[in-house]
Amino acid sequence: MRFGIFYEISVPRPWGPETERQVYANCIEQCVLADQLGFDHVWAVEHHFLEEYSHCPAPEIFLATVAAKTQQIRVGHGINVCVPEINHPIRIAERSAVLDLVSNGRLDVGTGRSATWTELGGFRANPDLTKATWAEIVRALPKMWTQERYAHDGVCFSMPERAVIPKPYQKPHPPLWVAVTSPGTEIDAAEHGIGALGLTFNDFAEQERRVKAYRKVIVNCEPAGAINDQVATVNFLFCHEDNKIGQQTGLRLAGTFGYAAAQLVSAREVYASPSYASFGLLPQVRRASAAPGDAPAPPPGMAVGDPKHITEVLKGWEATGVDGVNFLLNALETVPQQEVLDSLRLFAKEVMPAFKKTGAHARARVAAE
Amino acid sequence: MPIFGGYTPTAAGLPAIRALAQDRIDIEAAETLTFTFEVLSEAAIAALPAALHPPFPTYCSLVVRRHGDGPYGAFTTAELRLHARATNHYVGYCLGAFSDNESACAWLRNAYGLPCTVAETVSLRKRHYGIEARVVAGGRTLLDAVQATPGFISGNDILYVQNSNLAALDGVPTLIAEEFEYALRDAKRGAAAFHGLDIAAFGAPTLTVSNHLPSTWTAGSWSYMPVRFVIDPTRPAMAGTRKIGQPAAA
């Protein structure tokens, strides 16, 4: 079982001259501490135009800074938006290779296609096509990284033969992942032989079902590149000696996140297309039948509370067969920085030791079933 | 904290609620044609009550619905809705509406607070070139739009957002939750083509259309639901929401 931290880099209004700089500084400080405490991953999203929710359009720059200040922790670009209007695939390959080099081979490359009209519409991308462009780009990237020269004549992009350089430090290339929000994307991940980077808050049974489906399909995958047989899920983290304080703060964190997420315009909301069957993160923290004055329902299995409670919750996630959990630590700075750092320290001291060597067993059990 | 709307309403000119809808009304045969477009944000934020948040980009939907039956006979409505959030709930805040049926128009005003006006023509028709919506009031064409080259999609791909109407409830400005259920049989999507849109006549004199999205059409059943809650338009919806039958929040 591996633990990571996950950044949207949300910035609350009002936006003064120091606000965005301070939020970035806080995130980097958390990453440096997480490295020292033994966390395995830092993931950072790529989002555009998502006011307050995410001010992180250039995660490769954030992650390069993190890599320069840390020793062990892996840096995850989670995700590269594989939509040509937003990122040309050659640039994805080039940027990833450079980041892998400067981080001494600590890069994980996430892929995805954006779930919001705010982003897709902003770049005048066609939501109907993003699944296809993702599939085309994710198969091209490993070839750009591993072939001396590469040419491509596809549907979403083409290029005459060129040397896409530099090459990544990791051989044959950094692990590839895909963001999983819509149901069924875990199957796409398995069919391409890449990791499933879960970004929705499923319940235990649903997560276990998805892991099983993934493990079953990946056995016969048509790999895009080197196989990355991993499933990770996402969670909130707030760890405190007092379980009540931990849960209250954690619920505030989750509620704030859900509130900010609701202000986005999802593709599902405005652009009728089979390409976007779900909202992404949002529905997991909203009850459709409730009135606006009702408190949001907490997602099941949240890692908030005291170390004992969080350990129990994470044992539940481990039993679903996931290989790792990535934690959101804050939303709109609703948790003071010192409390975030204290939460990380307490988690590392009291919770992490219970998981260091047990992940493989749970995964083997699920595989056997 | 997300931005709140900038509009503080007064009761003058608002539809007066006579009795909030308490019964479900089922329309077996309803067709809905929707045109969605972005609008520039500054005026959109200013047009929203302070209880609501604008999403970004700010956008409207122009919804034309033909009701083939119902307690008031067949009728067609055309509504302009500015989309917003009540806490983390999606709502379509109605700026203006028209109907071709006086009784249905009165019912929607009195029971749901829809700012509905009777017009000579409110129509939704299939033409050989697409699906056409028209509104004519006072001899002027307020809407003349077509969903061109419609192609079939799944009804599952379409989402209708619940409505919120500003009305006077007991003489006090109040956002009324106009909720509905639907089951779709057919759905189409096509390009939106506007030959005429008087957005000011739909209650939005300050809004500027900026970016059109594909239009949708559906056919199926449509059910108007009892009003479950209302919102004080001057307070954040988290604090200002009151369920029907319960006292106002502190």
Q: Rounded to an integer, what distance in angstroms lies between the CA atom of residue B170 and that of residue B189? A: 41
Q: Alpha-carbon distance A74 to A72, whole Å?
A: 6
Strands A324-328, A2-7: pairing kind: parallel
Write b or e for each residue in A220-255: b if 16 or more Cβ atoms lie within 10 A of its Cβ, otherwise e.
ebeebbbbbbbbbbbbbbbbbeebeebbebbbebbb
Structural element, H or E, at residue A304 = strand A303-305
Mutate which of A19, A129, A131, A270 to test chain B, going by most B C-beta atoms within 10 A?
A: A270
User: Which pLDDT score, from 0 to 100, does residue B135 have?
Assistant: 98
A175, two tokens: 């692990």
Within its chain, how far is the Cα of B42 from the centroid? 21
B39 in a structural domain: yes
- pLDDT value of residue A70: 98
Residue found under tokens 């500054």: B42
Q: Is the pLDDT of residue A51 over 50?
A: yes
Chain A CA closest to residue B238: A293
- Split at pLDDT 50, 70, 90, the class of A183 is confident
Q: Of A58-62, A207-211, B61-65, B186-190, where does mean pLDDT reach its minimum? A: A207-211
* CB atoms closer than 10 angstroms to residue A290: 17
Helix A19-37 × helix A59-69 angle, to 10°: 50
Dihedral pair phi/psi, residue A253, rounded to 5°: -60, -50
The predicted model gives A105-119 an average pLDDT of 96
State the pLDDT confidence band at A298, using cuts at 50, 70 and 90.
low
The pLDDT, as a whole number, for residue A307 is 98
Q: Which two tokens stand for residue B97?
A: 């509406």
Q: Is B88 on the interface with A (CB under 8 A)?
A: yes
| Residue with token string 């477009």 | B37
B163 is a domain residue? yes
CA distance A285 to chain B (A): 9
- Per DSSP, helices labelled H in A56-129 are 59-69, 89-102, 117-122
Instruction: Provide the token pair at B22.
Output: 């308490």
Q: Tell me what pLDDT residue A294 has.
A: 78
Is B95 inside a domain boundary? Answer: yes
Question: Average pLDDT in the A94-116 region?
Answer: 97
In this prediction, residue B248 carries a pLDDT of 57
Arithmetic mean of pLDDT, A100-110: 98
**Across the interface, do A291 and B239 touch by the CB < 8 Å criterion?**
no
Nearest chain A residue to B61 by CA distance is A270
Band (A199; pLDDT cuts 50, 70, 90): confident
- pLDDT tens, residue by residue, B57-84: 999 999 999 999 989 999 999 999 999 9
A90 with A136: CB under 8 angstroms? no
B82 in A contact zone (CB under 8 Å): no
What's the CA gap between B246 and B250, in Å, rounded?
A: 12
Is A70:A32 a contact under the CB 8 Å cutoff?
Answer: yes
Give the pLDDT confidence score for residue B247 in this predicted structure: 62
What number is the average pLDDT over the span B142-171? 95
B193 bridge partner residues: B146
Taking the C-alpha atoms of residue A218 and residue A227, their distance in angstroms, rounded to an integer, is 9
User: Terminus-to-terminus CA distance in chain A, angstroms?
Assistant: 19
- Rounded Cα distance between A88 and A156, Å, is 10
Across the interface, do B53 and A263 touch by the CB < 8 Å criterion? yes
Given A270, A291, A332, which is nearest B243 (Cβ)?
A: A291
Strand stretches in A68-203, DSSP E: 74-81, 107-112, 150-153, 158-162, 176-180, 195-198
The pLDDT value given to residue A293: 78
> Which contiguous run of DSSP H or E holds residue A141?
helix A130-146
Question: Is B133 within 8 Å of B143 (Cβ atoms)?
Answer: yes
Over chain B, what is the mean pLDDT?
A: 95
pLDDT at A200: 76
Q: Residue A285 above 70 pLDDT?
A: no
Query: Mind listing the pLDDT tens digit for each residue in A215-229?
Result: 999 999 999 999 999
How far apart are the C-alpha atoms of B168 and B17, rounded to whole Å? Answer: 6
The range of the structural domain enclosing residue B136 comes to 30-242
> Which tokens go with A354?
């219970």
Work out the burial of residue B29: count CB atoms within 10 Å of its CB; fewer than 13 is exposed, 13-18 middle, 19 or more buried: middle
Mutation test of the interface with chain A: which of B4, B52, B87, B152, choosing the one with the most A Cβ atoms within 10 A?
B87
pLDDT of A289 above 60: no
Q: Name the residue among B161, B151, B101, B153 with its Cα closest to residue B131.
A: B151
Please list every residue in chain A whose beta carbon sits closer than 8 Å to the beta carbon of residue B153: 272-274
- Domain assignment present for B83: yes
Lowest-confidence range among A19-28, A101-110, A199-208, B142-151?
Answer: A199-208
Q: Which residue of A has its CA nearest to B240?
A: A293
Per-residue confidence (pLDDT) for residue B89, from 0 to 100: 92
Count of structural domains, chain B: 1
Query: What pLDDT is recorded for position A280?
Result: 57
pLDDT recorded at residue B245: 78
Is residue B128 domain-resident?
A: yes
Chain A residue set in contact with B, beta carbons under 8 Å: 12-13, 49-52, 117-118, 121-122, 258-265, 268-274, 276-277, 282, 285-286, 290-294, 296, 332
Q: Is A92 helix (H, G, I), strand (E, B) or coil?
A: helix
What is the share, in percent, of chain B residues with pLDDT greater than 70?
98
Please check whether residue B18 lies inside any domain of the structure.
no
Q: Please check the confidence at residue A117 and state whether its pLDDT lies above 70.
A: yes
Q: Residue A361: its pLDDT value, please?
A: 42
Look at residue A182 in the predicted model and tell me its pLDDT: 79
Q: Do the chains contact at B88 and A286, CB–CB below 8 Å?
A: yes
* Cα dihedral B193/B196/B200/B206 (nearest 10): 50
According to DSSP, the β-strands at B172-178 and B209-212 are unpaired
How many Cα neighbours within 13 Å face the side chain of B126?
7
Do A59 and A78 meet the contact criterion of CB atoms below 8 Å apart? yes
Q: Which pLDDT belongs to residue A78?
A: 93
Residue that the structure tokens 């619940």 belong to? B162
Rounded (10°) CA dihedral A162, A164, A165, A169 = -140
Contact check, Cβ <8 Å, B88/A274: no
Mean of all residue pLDDT scores within chain A: 92
Q: Which of A160, A95, A80, A114 is nearest to A268 (CA)?
A: A114
CATH label of the domain that carries residue B171: 2.40.400.10
Beta pairing partners, B173:
B168
Q: What ipTM goes with this model? A: 0.94
Residues A15-45 have pLDDT tens digits of: 999 999 999 999 999 999 999 999 999 999 9
Domains of chain A: 2-368 (3.20.20.30)
Q: Residue B39: CB partners within 8 Å, gap ≥ 6?
A: B58, B59, B60, B82, B204, B207, B208, B209, B210
Q: Which residues on A lie below 8 Å from B56 (Cβ)?
A: 49-51, 118, 263-265
Q: For chain A, say whether B3 makes contact (Cβ under 8 Å).
A: yes
Residue A245 main-chain phi, psi, to 5 deg: -65, -40
Question: Residue B145 and residue B34: Cα distance in Å, rounded?
Answer: 10
- 3-state SS string over B160-225? CCCEEEEEEECCEEEEEEECEEEEEEEEEEEEEEEEEECCCCCCCCCCCEEEECCEEEEEEEEEEC
- Which tokens sit at A5? 């931290």
Contact A198, A233 (CB under 8 A): yes
